[in-house]
Structure 1
Amino acid sequence: MTFVPIDRLKEGMMLDRDVYLYDYKTCKIAMLRSGQVLTNSYIQKLDELQILGAYIHSDDRDGPGGLTDGPIRPELKEEAISNIQCVFKMFDKSAQNINISYINQTVEISKKLVTALQSNKNIELSIASLKMYDDYTYNHSLGVSILSIAIGLSMGLKTAELYELGFCALMHDIGKMAIPIEIISKPAKLTKEEFEIVKQHPLKGAEFFLKHQLANKKVCAGVLTHHEKFDGTGYPSGLKGNQIPLFGRIISVADVYDALTSARPYRDPSSPADAIEYVMGCSGSTFDIAVVEAFLKRVSPYPIGSCVKLSNGEIAIVVSQNDYHPLRPMVRLLSNPEKILDLYRDREAYHVVIENACNIATSSL
């Protein structure tokens, strides 16, 4: 799916998410459901009601207007997952038969991911657009790579650096192949001894790439340091602040966010909002503040057009995102639809938070 601004919506495109509307002339709530094919009259109505755009089904990438799918096409995800599996299995076989083509293919996949995200710079990533497979290890690696590249884009990294960052993030957990499977897949909290074994995986991964000269020092450093913490309490070396290479600081944020929002045998996934709040709460301690700020510009727990319940009991529709605080977007209250409330900047909204996304009774548009 991809978010398409109102001026780029075309007749024939299919919605990939519900869009809630409030027509203050008729005082009725309306909704265009996911799967609805847009007509010119629908698009005009969206424009009249100040809806900034809509999420469009990925199959419409070659439809009217030549829309480019975003951020990542399914076939590229499949190619990435397949290649990650090949490289990880190569590690698992003690690298007796190093196939450099797998490494080269992974680098090319990183370049494709960077190109896809560069062409959709205004896209805000949602968890639905990242999750594709049940296999946690490989899907997690892809999700971390996409998020890391998005953060890098927000931080102004050059294209060549983004290629390296994407490759580094794809491979960040390869060292886990050296950890006994019964520990990695244990459906319960690890013992102290087991966690000490798991903590070896960044070093194992970096050693693999260095030993076989499969990556440069910048990539190896990112693999080695993605579990370091900004306050010096991480592992394996207890590095602090800018002692941690930039790739490690970026992947650290992406890694934690993707892990929190993923289902595991021993816990349910956190909501995007809860995961974002956790990341924000760790800014300056676990995470680099500058990296967190860049991250916040690229995630979207409450997409434009979604319906939310506020802590004061009001129901509202999200009309615009807030770059620096995605948990506090601009919303239109259904009880007073002529007014748009900025949950981040309006003084009257300082005490109001979004409790959850919700569904409401609607009429046909």
Structure 2
Amino acid sequence: MKNSIKYIKLLFLSLFAVLFVIWASAGKMSGVFGTSDHVAARENSVKADPASTPDPNLFVGSQTCQACHESEFDSVATTKHGKLETIASWKDKVTSCESCHGPGKEHVEAGGDITKIISFKNKTSKEVSETCLACHSGSESHNKFRRSDHWRNNVGCTDCHTAHGPNSHATKIGSISLPGINSDDKPGTGTLAMLKTSEPQLCLSCHSEQKADFSKPFHHKVLEGQMKCSDCHSAHGGFELKNARLSVGADSACIKCHSDKQGPFVYEHLPITTEGCAACHTTHGSTNAKMLKRNQVRQLCLECHTAITESLAPGVPSFHNQASVRTQNCTTCHSKIHGSQTHPFFFR
């Protein structure tokens, strides 16, 4: 009988523990996937409330808009937005000006009264972006935008993209002259993503510190046109620090090019497996060879291998005597510093 009571108590305790774990996990997941406000915003952008759906009779069509807004109409006609009507899956859907600006009948009947149409001039970057995400949040490359650094810093879709196309007044952006890159291209022209101007000019118009890094002696060849910012970063956000492009880990962006450092290795170097490439290297540019954070390799090694400095004591023989030029370069012996398949001390 006593055993039965103990069994029942144990069963209830186990059930309580399982329910507590489920409750705690739900709280954590809400933090990962955004606040309740963000969740509600996402739901609103995906499914509209039937009660708030505009009457189809209130739409006038883009041809009516053209009568007053001819330049915007002509420019948007050359973009992806303007060509949606030719795609079968978008047939019978609102794909013209009114898909963003709302039904225009009252605006037209009021002689162009701006208060009778959705205008984005006085909207915040987040409000503008929510309009874009009503269509674009379904794609993998955009559905993380509300978790991005850009979103948190009030950088919206139209800070980088132009909704109307290359000839619109909305495409104006400060020009940046870069060596090796044709900066004379019209903003937005030829860009599938409808950017205001091409990379890296667009990114560097805000990220001036990185432009300075790219001018250092050892750097990634971005200003030369051999790489783009988006090769490593996702402007629309991700789960990693600084929006590194791939979700497996920030180093995945590095390994796309530096595949010989990928591993897996039998003997792994701990800083690489825990902190990654950025533990030793700068990511944009450096005055040090191989874009190292220190100008000597040993200075990097001694940040972790502090016991080695004891060999500086006079009369104490050591292979790691830092007073000797012969043993100051760690990688002379530890040549496989990124990882080794054959030796625990990375000798080969």
TM-score scaled by structure 2? 0.29
Query: Relative contact order: is structure 1 or structure 2 higher (C-alpha 8 Å, sep ≥ 6)?
Result: 1
Larger radius of gyration: 2
Query: Which has the larger strand fraction?
Result: 1
